[in-house]
């Protein structure tokens, strides 16, 4: 019987252990998509407790706690930090085989040196140890990034954001790169005209111009796109339910915009036309700037209207959606490719049922200009666990070139989520090591195989994004 989470955790063969410990383990982390708060990095935030650091904003944990029958008071409510932590400890004991169980203990070990298992019996001891360490300067936001050997992070930022904290961080001499990433979802969200009009007014202020028409909107967005580029931005990211490639005319889209500014909601067809137009225009901007565009598609968000009214978005009430995606995705990429405007692209699917579709779709638009120009992103959200990671790697291997894969990201709001890179690296090394041990990959090619592992874990991303 193996010891739980020892140094060879998830590594089942000698080759896997060699690949991880000698090649993957010590490589720096490039976290090219995350949701860290830039202000906390700029100000080198000190956390008042492990609860703030660990449970604040983590809807993965919130979902598990609700499933365990924990009252909302102890999740997002008014309970104090210790009470919330104690309820999380109760939940961990019920989370066997959930990835949260692995992540929890990886984070405790790598950040705080805590090897005890978290449960109700150990909760107070672990809470006090973590809080004692968080009081030390090296456990600040920046200190945690240094602890995990982070080289670059890309945050998620709205076109109307000032990027002042990115500038502050850069000018303050912090050795780790924190770059903005362009997330223009709100500029597409015309279906709620009250909120949309308020957003356009905010964008107008940021761009320093009046936005009275659809053409003004595009001009303002281009200005902000250039502003982001001047602050080191190299990536966009779109959180969409599905791809949009409906036929439209510029005059139709202009009318939809005008009506929204008069607080008239579009119908479903008009919304799809407007989103199709905006998604295309954003893609053109990215191609012209030489950025990489990312598409995280497939969720149904805010399903629980009662809880949405209580705590707002990102509360843990999202799920995997089922949409007809392949045809509009193909139309979208085909139009851009035909016009010579298809930027480097990463597609992340939420529903694993679409794995083969996405893996084969990206192959349609590889053009020989950049190795791995079209990327299928790593397992995301409900699929960023051992099973999901293995399925994504295996399918990519079958349908594309695993060796060109740009690897893992945290997609997290937490400064303790970097062990997800370790988790991914262990899973990757175990899969490759098993193939070598089984004679499915040649042991004579170990130098090249080792180099592939290093590339996937670090070097491919560094080259692909130009960091």
Same domain assignment for residues 335 and 421: yes
Query: Quick check: is 322 in a domain?
Result: yes
Q: What is the CATH number of the domain that holds 108?
A: 1.10.2020.10
Same domain assignment for residues 212 and 171: yes
Q: Nearest 5°: CA angle at 388, between 360 and 149?
A: 105
Query: Quick check: is 432 in a domain?
Result: yes
H or E, element range at 296: strand 292-297
In this prediction, residue 320 carries a pLDDT of 76
Query: Quick check: is 7 in a domain?
Result: no
Q: Which two tokens stand for residue 234?
A: 């190299």
Q: What is the CATH number of the domain that holds 204?
A: 3.20.20.140
Residue 237's SS3 state is strand
Query: Quick check: is 4 in a domain?
Result: no
Looking at the chain, the number of H-run helices and the number of E-run strands are 20, 9
- Rounded CA-CA distance 88/62 in Å is 9
- Rounded CA-CA distance 185/236 in Å is 10
134, 47 contact by CB (below 8 A)? yes
Same domain assignment for residues 279 and 376: yes
| DSSP assigned state of 20 | I
Same domain assignment for residues 434 and 369: yes
Place of tokens 């290093």: 454
- Rounded CA Rg of the chain: 23
Q: Nearest 5°: CA angle at 315, between 310 and 317?
A: 100
245-259 per-position pLDDT tens digit: 999 999 999 999 999
Same domain assignment for residues 76 and 154: no
In this prediction, residue 346 carries a pLDDT of 98
Query: Quick check: is 388 in a domain?
Result: yes
Residue 311's SS3 state is helix
Same domain assignment for residues 363 and 217: yes
Same domain assignment for residues 116 and 166: no
Same domain assignment for residues 23 and 102: no
Same domain assignment for residues 215 and 338: yes
What sign does the CA torsion over 261, 265, 269, 272 have? positive
Of 28, 27, 3, 7, the closest CA to residue 17 belongs to 7
- Write out the DSSP string of 170-212: HHTT-SSEEE--B--GGGG-TTSHHHHHHHHHHHHHHHTS---
H or E, element range at 334: helix 326-338
In this prediction, residue 159 carries a pLDDT of 98
In this prediction, residue 254 carries a pLDDT of 98
Query: Quick check: is 373 in a domain?
Result: yes
For 442, residues 6+ apart whose C-beta sits below 8 A from its C-beta are 436
- Write out the DSSP string of 408-459: -----S-TT-THHHHHHHHHHHHHHHHHHHTTSS-GGGHHHHHHHHHIIIII
Q: Nearest 5°: CA angle at 58, between 55 and 59?
A: 125
| DSSP assigned state of 115 | -
Structurally, the chain folds into a number of domains equal to: 2
Same domain assignment for residues 217 and 101: no
First to last CA, the chain: 43
- Rounded CA-CA distance 287/282 in Å is 9
Q: Nearest 5°: CA angle at 263, between 260 and 265?
A: 65
Query: Quick check: is 68 in a domain?
Result: yes
279, 244 contact by CB (below 8 A)? yes
Q: What residue numbers bound the domain in which 68 lies?
A: 48-139
Output the tens digit of pLDDT for each of the chain's 467 residues. Answer: 899 999 999 999 999 999 999 999 999 999 999 999 999 999 999 999 999 999 988 999 999 999 999 999 999 999 999 999 999 999 999 999 999 999 999 999 999 999 999 999 999 999 999 999 999 999 999 999 999 999 999 999 999 999 999 999 999 989 999 999 999 999 999 999 999 999 999 999 999 999 999 999 999 999 999 999 999 999 999 999 999 999 999 999 999 999 999 999 999 999 999 999 999 999 999 999 999 999 999 988 888 888 788 878 887 777 878 778 999 999 999 999 999 999 999 999 999 999 999 999 999 999 999 999 999 999 999 998 999 999 999 999 999 999 999 999 999 999 999 999 999 999 999 999 999 999 999 999 999 999 999 999 999 999 999 99
């Amino acid at each position: 019987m193996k010891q739980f989470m020892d140094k060879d955790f998830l590594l089942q063969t000698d080759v896997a252990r060699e690949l991880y410990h000698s090649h993957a383990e010590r490589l720096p982390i490039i976290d090219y998509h995350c949701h860290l708060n830039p202000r906390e990095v700029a100000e080198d935030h000190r956390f008042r407790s492990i609860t703030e650091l660990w449970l604040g904003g983590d809807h993965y944990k919130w979902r598990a706690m609700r499933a365990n029958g924990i009252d909302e008071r102890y999740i997002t409510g008014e309970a104090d930090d210790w009470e919330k932590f104690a309820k999380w400890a109760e939940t961990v004991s019920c989370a066997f085989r959930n990835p949260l169980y692995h992540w929890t203990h990886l984070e405790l070990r790598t950040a705080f040196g805590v090897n005890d298992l978290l449960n109700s019996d150990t909760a107070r001891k672990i809470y006090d140890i973590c809080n004692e360490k968080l009081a030390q300067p090296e456990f600040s936001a920046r200190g945690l990034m240094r602890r995990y050997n982070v080289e670059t992070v890309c945050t998620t930022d709205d076109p109307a954001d000032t990027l002042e904290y990115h500038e502050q961080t850069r000018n303050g001499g912090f050795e780790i790169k924190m770059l903005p990433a362009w997330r223009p979802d709100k500029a597409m969200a015309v279906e709620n005209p009250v909120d949309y009009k308020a957003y356009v007014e905010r964008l107008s202020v940021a761009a320093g111009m009046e936005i009275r028409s659809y053409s003004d909107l595009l001009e303002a967005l281009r200005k902000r796109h250039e502003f982001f580029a001047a602050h080191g931005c190299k990536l966009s990211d779109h959180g969409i339910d599905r791809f949009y490639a409906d036929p439209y005319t510029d005059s139709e889209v202009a009318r939809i915009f005008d009506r929204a500014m008069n607080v008239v909601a579009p119908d479903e067809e008009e919304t799809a036309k407007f989103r199709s137009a905006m998604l295309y225009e954003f893609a053109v901007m990215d191609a012209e700037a030489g950025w990489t565009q990312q598409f995280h598609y497939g969720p149904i968000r805010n399903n629980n209207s009662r809880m949405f009214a209580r705590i707002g978005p990102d509360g843990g009430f999202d799920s995997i959606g089922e949409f007809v995606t392949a045809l509009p995705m193909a139309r979208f990429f085909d139009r851009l490719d035909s016009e010579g405007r298809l930027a480097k692209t990463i597609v992340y699917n939420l529903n694993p049922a679409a794995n083969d579709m996405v893996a084969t779709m990206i192959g349609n638009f590889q053009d020989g200009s950049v190795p791995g120009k079209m990327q299928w992103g790593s397992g995301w959200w409900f699929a960023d666990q051992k099973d999901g990671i293995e399925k994504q790697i295996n399918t990519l291997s079958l349908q594309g070139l695993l060796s060109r894969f740009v690897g893992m990201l945290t997609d997290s709001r937490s400064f303790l989520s970097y062990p997800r890179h370790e988790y991914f690296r262990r899973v990757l090394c175990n899969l490759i090591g098993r193939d070598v041990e089984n004679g499915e990959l040649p042991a004579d090619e170990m130098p090249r195989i080792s180099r592939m592992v290093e590339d996937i874990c670090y070097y491919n991303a560094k080259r692909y994004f130009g960091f």
